[in-house]
Amino acid sequence: MKVLVIGGGAREHALIWKLKQSPEVTKIFCAPGNPGIASLAECVDIPVKELAKLVRFALDSAIDLTVVGPEDPLVAGIVDLFQRNDLRIFGPTARAAQLEGSKTYSKELMLRHNIPTATARTFRDYDVAMQYLRTAQAPIVVKADGLAAGKGVSVCKTIEEAREVTRKMMRDEMHGKSGTTVVFEEFLEGEEISILAITDGHTIVPFEPAQDHKSIFDGNKGPNTGGMGTYSPLPQIEASILEEAERECVFQAIHAMNRDGVPFSGCLFAGLMITEDGPKVIEYNVRFGDPEAETMLRRLKSDLFPLLWHTTAGTLDQCSIEWDPRPVVTVILASGGYPGKPNPPTQIKGADADFGPDVVVFHAGTKLVDGKLMTAGGRVLAVSAIGDDLEAARVKAYAAADKIDFAGKQMRRDIGARGLTATRIE
């Protein structure tokens, strides 16, 4: 089988790393890919937003299955386009991708179908938004309605801060048109977890949970990023809470989409807060998480290819899924400046060292210039390690991450630390 993976980050590197192990996969292409991916797949120089070129390539190359990594092409309708051309593709249609593409759409779906979530108000008018903030209570969360690469959210400790962020989003258009509509949301307190689930719209296969670390600095300080590291499993989450979260927040969403006549197929990513009142949805994404995928695909024992294939065929009920019980920790190495404007490209040293079989280094923002590996963007590498226990996985991941160097390198030191110290939530 010939597979095309769309995207060029560490998530796509992890998908390809896993697909490469499938006896059913004979050839993998990646558009546009990156230098790490190039060692496993043939990279094709087509940007993810060039949908017409991507479909042409898939037709010309007789691709059997296309897998979409990032959200932008999904929201732009890549699945609809491929399906119109009788091409098999893993991911939701543009209508279903609104679950991530518009926070207002997903909020309304949750409210209509009684899915637990933070209360929220949407504003399109700047003056009305400012008026609302006069009577609002802090802390309050301010979100850009549209896509903003995981950076369109500010948790504001004071109303003054919320006013400032709102002004930047609505007046200064710091996130472009994505932020001219804002959502003010109730602040949820608790343990934040990510549950991914593969579904063909009928059968739902939830993954074990992972925990991301969104803020740039240790101890969840500083501005939000796309994610600075993940680990799984989560010893602090009791099985009954997890079942409730899957039932109320994941299965309900798939059923809700069906009832609304917008069936969802692909990978649903539920970002949840486990509050004192139970699990609540922070957001849905319509694709594998990054860096959740890096951790979960290393724990996945089953062959990934049949899971993706049967999803597109509507026969996911024929599949089963098995996890390696051993913990995985993934640490992101980011450029200086991130999550603001990343530093200009600088040379990376030590990324191709042999760290042993338990460590895999996935490439995110890297490029080759005159044979030298350079940084190219905010998140640069994802260093992923498996261990007999969480501490062992952490030690291995950080030993490798410390040996990789580039000017301005940022990484959090506390990935997985909560799993070691947190008390179990029952």
Which residues sit at the interface with ligand AMP, rule CB under 6 A? 118, 141, 143, 150, 153, 155, 185-188, 192, 214, 224, 271, 282-283
292 binds, among ligand AMP, ligand GLY, none (CB under 5 to 8 A by kind): ligand GLY
Determine the longest span between alpha carbons in the chain, in angstroms: 61
Token pair recorded at residue 51: 């949908």
Quick one: how far is CA 124 from the chain centroid?
Answer: 27
Instruction: Give min distance, CB of 67 to ligand AMP, in A.
Output: 23
Closest to 24 in 3D by CA, of 305, 302, 320, 362: 305
Q: Which of 185, 292, 294, 358 binds ligand GLY (CB under 6 A)?
A: 292
Amino acid at 132: Y
The whole-angstrom separation of Cα 196 and Cα 297 is 11
Smallest distance from the beta carbon of 85 to ligand AMP, in angstroms? 32
Q: Which CB atom, from 151 or from 363, has the smaller least distance to ligand AMP?
A: 151
Residue 378 touches ligand GLY, criterion: CB under 6 A: no
With CB cut-offs between 5 and 8 Å by kind, which of ligand GLY, ligand AMP, none does residue 187 bind? Answer: ligand AMP
Nearest distance from C-beta of residue 329 to ligand GLY, angstroms: 15
* Secondary-structure breakdown of the chain: helix, strand, coil percentages, each rounded to the nearest 5: 35, 30, 40
Near ligand GLY by CB under 6 A: residue from 64, 72, 200, 290: 290
Pairing of strands 140-144, 266-275: unpaired
Question: Angle formed by the axes of helices 10-19 and 304-313, to 10°?
Answer: 100
Q: Restricting to residues 121-180, name those near ligand GLY by CB under 6 A.
A: 150
209 binds ligand GLY (CB under 6 A): no
* Binding partner selected for residue 192 from ligand GLY, ligand AMP, none, CB under the kind-specific 5 to 8 Å limit: ligand AMP
Nearest position to ligand GLY, beta carbon: 227
Report the sign of the C-alpha dihedral through residues 114, 198, 203, 242, in that order: negative
Q: State the number of CA atoms in the 13 A half-sphere of 306 facing the CB.
A: 15
Nearer to ligand GLY, 143 or 310 (CB): 143
**Residue closer to ligand AMP, measured from CB, 184 or 406:** 184
Contacts of 132-139 spanning 24+ positions with Cβ under 8 A: 132/184, 133/159, 133/162, 133/163, 133/166, 133/184, 134/159, 136/162, 136/184, 138/162, 139/187
416 is a site residue for ligand GLY (CB under 6 A): no
Question: Where do runs of H (alpha helix) occur along 121-211?
Answer: 126-135, 159-166
| CB nearer to ligand GLY: pick between 150 and 263 | 150
Query: Cβ 284 to ligand AMP, closest distance in Å?
Result: 9
Q: How many residues in the shown chain lie near ligand GLY by CB under 6 A? A: 8
| Binding window for ligand GLY (CB under 6 A); candidates: 197-205, 282-290, 320-328, 408-416 | 282-290
Q: Is 246 in the site for ligand GLY (CB under 6 A)?
A: no
Choose among ligand AMP, ligand GLY, none what residue 290 binds, the Cβ cut-off being 5 to 8 Å by kind. Answer: ligand GLY
Instruction: Give least dist CB 187 to ligand AMP, A.
Output: 5
How many angstroms separate the CA atoms of 402 and 396, rounded? 10
How many whole angstroms separate alpha carbon 131 and alpha carbon 335?
A: 38
- Give the residue with the Cβ less far from ligand GLY, 212 or 358: 212
Residue 339 found at the interface with ligand GLY (CB under 6 A): no
- Work out what residue 153 binds among ligand GLY, ligand AMP, none; the CB cut-off runs from 5 to 8 Å by kind: ligand AMP
Angle in degrees, 0-180, between the axes of helices 252-259 and 94-101, rounded to the nearest 10: 130
Please, are residues 33 and 43 in contact by the beta-carbon 8 Å criterion? Answer: yes
Binding site for ligand GLY (CB under 6 A): 150, 212, 226-227, 285, 289-290, 292
